[in-house]
Amino acid sequence: MEVILSVLQVFVSIVLIALILMHSGKDAGLSGAFGVGTGQGPLGGGSYVERNLNRWTVLFCVVFVVNTIVLIKI
Ranges of each domain in the chain: 1-22+49-73
Q: What per-residue confidence (pLDDT) applies to 49?
A: 85
Q: What per-residue confidence (pLDDT) applies to 38?
A: 54
- The tens digit of pLDDT for each residue in 13-50 reads 999 999 999 987 655 555 555 555 555 555 555 688 88
- Residue 61 CA to residue 27 CA, distance in Å, equals 23
- Residue 39 CA to residue 45 CA, distance in Å, equals 5
Q: What per-residue confidence (pLDDT) applies to 48?
A: 86
Name the band, by pLDDT with cuts 50, 70 and 90, for residue 66: very high
